[in-house]
Structure 1
Amino acid sequence: MLPHPALHASHGGIWIADGDGTRPIGRGEAIRIAADTPVIMLNAPLVGQRLGYAELSGLDLLELFAFVHPARFTVPTPQGFARAVDISPPETDADVAAFLREAAAALLAVVAGDWAEREGAWTTAQALARARWPWAPTLAGRLTAPATNERLLFTRLPEWEEAAPRPAPRTVTIEPHEAEERLVRLTGQGAEVRPGQRAYAAAAAAAFGPRPMREAPAVVLAEAGTGIGKTLGYLAPASLWAAKAGGAVWISTYTKALQRQLGQETERLFPDAAARRAKVVTRKGRENYLCLLNLEDALQGGFAGRAAILAQLVARWAAYSADGDMVGGDLPGWLPTLFRRNGSTALTDRRGECIYAGCPHYRKCFIERAARASVEADIVIANHALVMVNAARGRELATRPTRYVFDEGHHLFDAADSMFSAALTGQETIELRRWILGPESGGRGRRRGLQARLSDVASYDEQGGVAIQDAIDAARHLASDGWIGRLAEGAPFGPIEHLLAAVRGLTYARAEQPGDAGYGLETELAEPTPALIEAAAPAAAALDALVRPLVTLGKRLEAVLAEAPDWMDGPARARIEGAIASIGWRAETVAAWLALLARIGGPVDPDFVDWLVVDRVEGREYDIGLRRHWLDPTRPFAQVVLKPAHGALVTSATLTGGGDWDTAEARIGTPHLARGPARFEAPSPFDYPNQAEVLVVTDVKRGDLGALANAYARLIVAAGGGTLGLFTAIRRLRVVHARIADRLAREGLPLHAQHVDPIDTGTLVDIFRDDPHASLLGTDALRDGVDVPGRSLRLVVMEGVPWPKPTVLHAARRLAGGGSAYDDRLVRARLAQAFGRLIRRADDCGSFVMLSAAMPSRLLTAFPPGVPIVRVTLDEAVARVAQRLSTGARIGHGVAPLDA
């Protein structure tokens, strides 16, 4: 057993365990002990938050686990960790501290022997010792130097290889009966026959037929209720088409959770792991993947302190990772959160600085490997954002997909709204300045400007060199470091900062209200003041002076490619091709800014919604500028994504949620196509009238946070945990959590919360799923895409009707979409999505509670037909929840309904 004490803090108390046993202690003593001696903990940031000591550090078991077992996941709770190290879990909160010492000993025993991930451990441990990692001295006596030099990360990773271009997919037709037969093979001959699933697969096959005419893809809209099994339903015709046509089907989702689920489902298609790696590829935006050049810079001194420790642990993970995906892949989601502000964002390519073939690790790059693997794959699992980015400005022109499946299709409107918008803000302009100029004030790091990235082109092509210099000169007029402080002091510098100052002044004048809580402000771009009009002209001139050399540079690079000089080898060509794409989309961005500035003092464009913003958090400004969104973002989506495709299946359990088929089509963009879509609907097979009920609580006063917290606590206790609490405001979530967490802990019911616990959302859901006594509070991100079947989720509580926020953008769309009817459609869709979290399989049962007496009856059609909906007092709701959920009983299955 280790000599170090172990510390555990929860909402139920604080305990310390050492050689003399376990004892409860106070907060002050716990902080003193942790400050004086290395202490074993599980998730130090969470323990520090519960102690009120944010800078707490020590021997974190999660960090040790990430070192010993890179690219493995464990639920970061005592019970989850016990399973990971194969020891008995603690029975009570008071037993956890002693358990932590036992778990540490078990994990260190692995290090003392041979284990699967031993390679590289000794080398990494030496580097971690130099970074003063608290575990390093303990590991020193347990790891021995290898007999031969361990392969370093950058030599261990495999290289991708170039391949001949893939031929265009053959023209084939997938008959409905073929899709059904394929589905039978996927599910197995002995599987339960699901008529709805078979009908769904047959209908989905129509999306894989030949395109009848140009810009008229075969589109199928399919609403499949929860439990139909739509994933295998569309994988059947999709995989059949890929095999017969020799092409790739891109399956696009909205949430990372569904991407992971899809990856698991494809095991039925390709049981052999090697074949599955070749045939199924997961693609995400490049900002999700580890950048090896950024990592190398971090390992060579670019990071210091705790960030250097993170870099070493990430490097160890990268050597064992399947795909280098840092967000939703096999990097444990909890690992970056252990390092607080020293996060992992600097290890990914979030600034668009990739130098492509100019990178020494280009042949090992995770991003490039995934892109090339997807060319030869049968199934590419992507997301809505990546699909739209690739279609709008992707470099892979010759391998654009022709067949799509858009799962979670009800999110296409929101994804398109984000993708096809424009934001002329301080943060956006400063990022562009940094991309063009590179480092301006020294400092460490690998950031390089346009001149450094294209120095060979500048020396070879005189006009290209002039364009680079002109772009550099023009970029100096963009916002620079310290711009927010200068605006606050009334001393902006340059035309863009003067524009932002005018935006800030007008926004405060029109949008600030008495008693303002310090959150973001916005106002319409209507009737601009003379100051704003006067500031717009020089800003437009500055941006015009920037976009012209960027366009010229792009053309000169294309000319250099065509000339193919002797110095241009394969890597140089690839680097220049990447630069052309990167310069092109930045030129498009500046052009969009110019169009937005033309609106100031000019005519209104009915296709767009323009407004001014001051983004703030608790009174602190962090961005200022102008924003432009399409009134109907499905127009560019249809033009850029759907029209070039040959076929697309758009599917969801709530595709028509909040409206009818015409509404669904309008939010997907099919009215902008020359050919209308096919429609298919398969209702859920679940027995909702007997498996669930909806309770509308009538006596919790709106705005009374004490009463709201009391209601949540009583309902969670009545259900024995297993509760998903949904909020429409982060502030109310935090207040409720603060008031009830200790109270629930005394009942043995753990409570976790998004925006409170220093844990990423995906891991919070994993913790919630793992413990049937736990409850989870969250906001919009938990309302959709959370799949927690069984007893772990048996009660959903919403604090109020999820009305849309009254933003400028919403007001414009509301006016165009029918006024209050538009609001009602959005609310019904949100209610349907929230209710969909409750019943995930045939043996689930649960209650859905709305804590709002003002719930309009017209919105209740959001819930499945036949579900009992009753208005009750809180006392009655607590009694019904206890009766239904305490033993898992269901109304209609041996338990009589209470009077409403």
Structure 2
Amino acid sequence: MTSLPHPALHASHSGVWISTGGQTRAVSRGEAIGLASETPVILLNAPLIGQRLGYAELSGLDILELFAFLRPAQFAVPTPHGVARACGLEPPDSDADVAAFLLRATEKLLAMPDGAWPEREGAWTAAQSLARLRWPWAPLIGPRLTRPERNERWLFSALPEWEEDAPRPAPRTIDLPPQDSEERLRRLTGDGAEERPGQRAYAAAVTAAFAPRAVRDTPNMVLAEAGTGIGKTLGYLAPASLWAERAGGAVWISTYTKALQRQLSGETARIFPDAVLRKERVVTRKGRENYLCLLNLEDALQGGFAGRAAVLAQLVARWAAYTADGDMVGGDLPGWLTTLFRRNGSAALTDRRGECVYAGCPHYRKCFIEHAARASVQADIVIANHALVMVNAARGRETQTRPTRYVFDEGHHLFDAADSMFATALTGSETIELRRWILGPEAGSRGRRRGLAARLSDVASYDEGGNRAIGDAVQAAHALASEGWLGRLAEGQPFGPIEALLAAVRGLAFARAEQPGDAGYGLETELADPSPALIEAAGPAAHALDALLRPLVTLGQRLEAVLQEAPDWLDGQARARVEGAIASIAWRAETVAAWLSLLARIGGPVDPDFVDWLAVDRVEGREYDIGLHRHWLDPTRPFAEIVLKPAHGALVTSATLRTGGNWDVAEARTGAPHLARGPAHFVAESPFDYPNRAEVLIVTDVKRGDIPQLANAYSRLIAAAKGGTLGLFTAIRRLRGVHGRIADRLARDGLALHAQHVDPIDTGTLVDIFRDDPSASLLGTDALRDGVDVPGSSLRLVVMEGVPWPKPTVLHAARKLAGGGSAYDDRIVRARLAQAFGRLIRRADDRGAFVLLSAAMPSRLLDAFPPGVAISRVTLDEAVARVAGRLSSDAPIGHGDSQILPAAATEFPDR
């Protein structure tokens, strides 16, 4: 019998249970809400339980918060089975047993301080602060903690400081024979490893990317497609690590997803088995917005946060003392922690506005971001992402240590990453962020945020020209959008030239883009034949932005002059702060200049290199942003100019690099045509036996967009597969509609259903939950179509709601026109189908089925699937029977009675 004074509550789609005094009973949702509102209850994931009860404000003693306090920087799958594994307990057998299990798990966790406890340091201090914040767990955990005999060196005093290193010399020019890469690969895979001829050939071929460059601005570029199962990660790590070792330089390996970053970090243990050496030689880099800002955390701990946000700050502080790298997004901070607080305050703990004061920060020498930046200079392997690589190349401060060799894994995403990086958006939200960066806190606002004048006060006192430029920038920033701008625009009362411009944009977008029966989604229209109101508003807006750009440029020049003059007060830290300010100001000046260029388009000639449009962004009828947008028609042009040309070698690789086209398409999507010399090509087909391990079923009798029919199809297919299903949707509305109709029904059969955009859990954690439970299923959208790696029986069925046609936006229409019309759409659909199918078979012993709920699937697109895979058009009844039979027996998949489509099958309509 438990000795805890609190009952435990559990709610699932199949029922609600309360456990107290050794007894568990089923209760109604109303009774559970009543109990939870009157007394603290122990539960697992309060936001999720609250959603299931229909009681959004549910709070209590969340066992995940207790785990985060006691085991900072450790992950547990946030499910009863995951907590059981983390606590060394037997998991509950059913939903009805979970409430009693939570009591046992709580007692096990609370007993931790009595034994060997690696994270004891700092716990007592944190518990005192949490008690003052009325954290529900404080009365239970506080008495179990012994006050330390001496003052604890906790967090800010205990974190290590980085040290300056001598500049690293340029990499040596070496020749790397392909056979050396093959030998390194053999050592990495180990003796007795399975022979993989494709992997060996891949390693030899991609070595060409590490050869010495012969012509300036012409890197050695290799495009390599390696099918799933080839082992491309070790295939390129072999030559990359060998080149870094012999040349004394760093290879930057860039990914698109955080999941692959984590996987790569694990694979490097083969190169550097010693953990201490690996930490020196392999560094993971992300954008600044991913890392904890210690100055923001200090502000939060000293009263900058209140209520639940303050509790989150204390738990993050516990994590910060034990984290490996300070990465809050995809690092060792559990992804579920911030969602427990409904995102309350987590964004304010990172530097999302570019307000870092660098050496002016008291925690500068302990800064996680600076640690990573300096460590990467001396590293052999830097694991980054496409966005960071492009940002660093375009406006990074580390110009002297710019990498000469890149590996772009998930290379089929380079086009999309470049499209986002090199775009321009003159919107209300962007202008208000710039206003805050310049002015700092205005009337009624709180927080540590400081304006430009405060951040550069010592420079202003030294340099009269700089001081005058700061004043001019501050005055000009008042013309930007300010708090409450959306409301003023809706009421037809814009304030200032930028808000007047946004009001004209809104008016024209509604006039041209509003459709009968509009569902409240975003509106957009081409920036063509602008209205007189828009033309009239553009002039004053351009004048206001020009008045802002001039002092920013002047201030940057004055700061450069300060560095040249090197006054007495400009020590190492002050110099670093001034250099950081120069980079930050240059970024803002570049943004304002791009806005001016966009405004010049209004009423002016069309620039064929760009696509311009007006947009009102809405979610379910609620407007959240308005503005003008500009994208490159071909974003690989600036990517090639800024990233590829300065490099000496670049490998672009993916399992689906050519999918949807041929090598011409692959080259066009990676920037190769903009280089003086074409790339080398290499292909290694997947070794998996797709014909016998998978089949494709196209269901012909489910009406597109019919929610009841879709729900029925998903429910029956998931039940037939007994879970293990990844359901992919092209619209969030339909996903939510299907989930709402089938979650309870499946739960009664013991089949858990999780959903992106429904469950209050981050996407990465949802995938962890799905991977951990073979009977669970997961519904999601584009984010789950690519980059999800769930090998084994946890994923045995993929169901797509329909043909993933691209959304008909202004930008897509322009690229479709330039890219060959309907053939352009076909290439996109083929790529998406291939990526979705690629989730199914992740290792040689995987088996499963891919179901597409669309009678209108054109036969010409069926070559998106691997050669030899059986493709059948069947009714839903047949598909359900096929899935149940194939996934519950040892019969080879793909050889059944239904019609197998020949290569020249009758064409079906496009839509």
User: What's 1:534 paired with?
Assistant: 536
Question: Whole-Å Cα distance in 1 between the matches of residues 890 and 421 of structure 2?
Answer: 44
AA paired with 1:792?
S
Helix, strand or coil at the partner of 2:525? strand
CA drift at 1:786: 0.2
SS in 1 for 2:144: coil
User: Which residue does the alignment assign to 2:903?
Assistant: none
Query: Aligned residue for 1:439?
Result: 441
Q: Match for residue 58 of structure 1?
A: 60
- Structure 1 residues 673-692: Cα deviation after superposition (integer angstroms, max 9, x where no partner): 01110000000000000000
1:409 paired to 2:411: yes
Aligned to 1:627: 629
Amino acid at match of 1:208: F
**In 2, distance between residues paired with 1:31 and 1:504?**
43
Partner of residue 676, structure 1: 678
- Tell me how far apart the structure 2 counterparts of residues 500 and 703 of structure 1 sit (CA, whole Å): 34
Separation in 2, partners of 1:459, 1:356: 19
The answer to whether 1:372 aligns with 2:374 is yes
Matched, 1:493 2:487: no
Q: Does structure 1 residue 601 correspond to structure 2 residue 611?
A: no
Counterpart amino acid of 1:822? Y
Q: Distance in 2 between matches of 1:43 and 1:889?
A: 41
**Contact residue 404 and residue 647 of structure 1 kept, 8 A:** yes
Structure 2 residue ranges without an equivalent (≥5): 901-911
How high is the TM-score relative to the length of structure 2? 0.98
Which amino acid in structure 2 is aligned with residue 548 of structure 1?
R
Match of 1:560 among 559, 562, 581: 562
**Residue segments in structure 1 that go unaligned for 5+ positions in a row:** none
Corresponding residue for 2:909?
none
Instruction: Point out 4+ residue stretches in structure 1 off by more than 6 angstroms.
Output: none
CA shift, 1:738, in A, is 0.3
- 1:475 paired residue number: 477
Q: Give the whole-Å Cα distance in 1 for the aligned partners of 2:16 and 2:80.
A: 15
Task: Report the counterpart of residue 850 of structure 2 in structure 1.
Answer: 848
Corresponding residue for 2:907?
none
Counterpart-to-counterpart distance in 2, 1:711 and 1:857: 22
Q: Distance in 2 between matches of 1:899 and 1:85?
A: 51
Deviation at 1:890, TM superposition (A): 2.6
Q: Which residue of 1 aligns with 2:861?
A: 859
Could you list the per-position Cα deviations for residues 470-518 of structure 1 after superposition, in whole angstroms to 9, with x for gaps in the alignment? 1111111110111111111111111101000000000000001111111
Listed one character per residue, the Cα deviations across residues 286-331 of structure 1 (whole Å, up to 9, x for unaligned) are 0000000000000000000000000000000000000000000000
The answer for the alignment partner of 1:543 in structure 2 is 545
2:724 maps to what in 1? 722
1:825 counterpart letter in structure 2:
R
Give the distance between the partners of 2:564 and 2:652, measured in 1 at CA. 41
Alignment of structure 1 residues 269-280 onto 2, 5 Å: 269-280=271-282
Deviation at 1:74, TM superposition (A): 0.2
Which residue of the partner structure matches residue 302 of structure 1? Answer: 304
How many percent identity over aligned positions?
81
Partner SS state of residue 141, structure 1: helix
- Give the Cα–Cα distance (whole angstroms) in 2 for the partners of residues 488 and 28 of structure 1: 40
Query: Which letter maps to 2:659?
Result: G
1:548 and 1:670 map into 2 onto residues whose CA distance is: 37
Matched position secondary structure for 1:404: strand
Deviation at 1:703, TM superposition (A): 2.4
Tell me the secondary structure at the aligned position of residue 370 of structure 1: helix
Classify the secondary structure of the residue corresponding to 1:567: coil
- State the partner residue of 1:516: 518
Equivalent in the alignment of 1:789: 791
Partner of 2:906 in structure 1?
A: none
Q: Give the drift of 1:899.
A: 5.6
CA contact (8 A) 2:12 2:49 kept: yes
Q: C-alpha displacement at 1:569, in angstroms?
A: 1.2
How far has the Cα of 1:148 moved from its partner? 1.4
Matches within 5 A, 1:349-368: 349-368=351-370
Q: In structure 1, what is the Cα distance between the partners aligned to 2:733 and 2:375?
A: 44
Q: How does 1:80-159 map to 2 (within 5 A)?
A: 80-159=82-161
- Contact preservation (8 Å) 1:720, 1:886: no
Match of 2:325 among 315, 323, 326: 323
Does the 8 Å contact 1:880/1:898 carry over to 2? Answer: no
What is the SS of the residue equivalent to 2:166?
A: coil
Q: Distance in 1 between matches of 2:125 and 2:847?
A: 52
The equivalent residue for 2:458 is 456
Residues 129-208 of structure 1: pairs in structure 2 closer than 5 A: 129-208=131-210
| Residue pairs, 1:651-800, within 5 angstroms | 651-800=653-802
* Residue identity matched to 2:223: L
Task: Kindly indicate whether the alpha-carbon contact (under 8 Å) linking 2:121 and 2:154 is maintained by their aligned counterparts in 1.
Answer: no
Deviations 1:129-164 (A, max 9, x none): 011100000012211111111112101100000010
> 1 CA distance for matches of 2:725 and 2:649?
40
Counterpart code for 1:30? A
SS of equivalent to 1:505: helix
Length-normalised TM-score, structure 1 = 0.99
Does residue 1:288 correspond to 2:271, yes or no?
Answer: no
- Picking from 15, 20, 26, the partner of 2:28 is 26
2:775 is paired with a residue of what secondary structure? coil
Aligned to 1:465: 467
One-letter amino acid of the counterpart of residue 233, structure 1: G
SS of 1:73's equivalent in the other structure is: coil
SS in structure 2 of the partner of residue 715 of structure 1: helix
Q: Deviations over 1:245-291 (max 9, x none)?
A: 00000000000000000000000010000000000000000000000
Shift of 1:823: 0.2
The whole-number CA distance in structure 1 between the counterparts of 2:444 and 2:335 is 33
3-state SS of paired residue (1:165):
coil
Q: Which residue of 2 aligns with 1:429?
A: 431
Output one character per residue of 1:84-140: Cα deviation in whole Å (capped at 9) or x when no partner. 000100011111110000000001111233311111111100010011100000012
* Secondary structure of the structure 2 residue equivalent to 1:206: helix
SS of 2:754 mapped into structure 1:
strand
- 1:587 maps to which residue? 589
Q: What is the aligned partner in structure 1 of residue 390 from structure 2?
A: 388
Distance in 2 (alpha carbons) for counterparts of 1:112 and 1:58: 24
**In 2, Cα distance between the equivalents of 1:765 and 1:445?**
35
User: In the alignment, is the contact (CA less than 8 A) between 2:847 and 2:893 conserved in 1?
Assistant: no
Match of 2:822 among 812, 820, 823: 820
- Post-superposition offset of 1:341: 4.1
Deviation of 1:702 (Å): 1.5
Counterpart of 2:611 in 1: which secondary structure?
strand
CA contact (8 A) 1:422 1:627 kept: yes
Moved more, 436-445 or 230-239: 436-445
Secondary structure (helix, strand or coil) at the match of 2:799 reads strand
How many pairs are equivalent?
A: 898
Distance in 1 of aligned mates of 2:361 and 2:593: 29
Asked whether the 8 Å contact 1:222–1:655 carries over to 2, the reply is yes
The alignment partner of 1:515 has SS state of coil
In 2, the alpha carbon distance for the partners of 1:389 and 1:735 equals 39
Distance between the aligned counterparts of 2:74 and 2:276, measured in 1?
Answer: 19
1:703-742 residue CA offsets vs partner (Å, 9 max, x unmatched): 2210110000000000010000000000000000000001
Residue 567 of structure 1: how far off its partner (Å)? 1.2
- How far, CA to CA, are the matches of 2:242 and 2:461 in structure 1? 52
Give the C-alpha shift of residue 442 in structure 1: 4.5
Alpha-carbon shift at residue 896 of structure 1 (Å) = 5.2
How well do the aligned residues superpose, as a CA RMSD in angstroms? 0.8
Q: Tell me which moved more, 110-119 or 314-323.
A: 110-119
Q: Which residue of 1 aligns with 2:19?
A: 17
TM-superposition CA deviations, 1:790-810 (whole Å, max 9, x none): 000000000000000000000
> Aligned to 2:337, which of 331, 335, 340?
335
8 Å CA contact 2:428–2:626 kept in 1: the answer is yes
From 76, 79, 82, give the equivalent of 1:77.
79
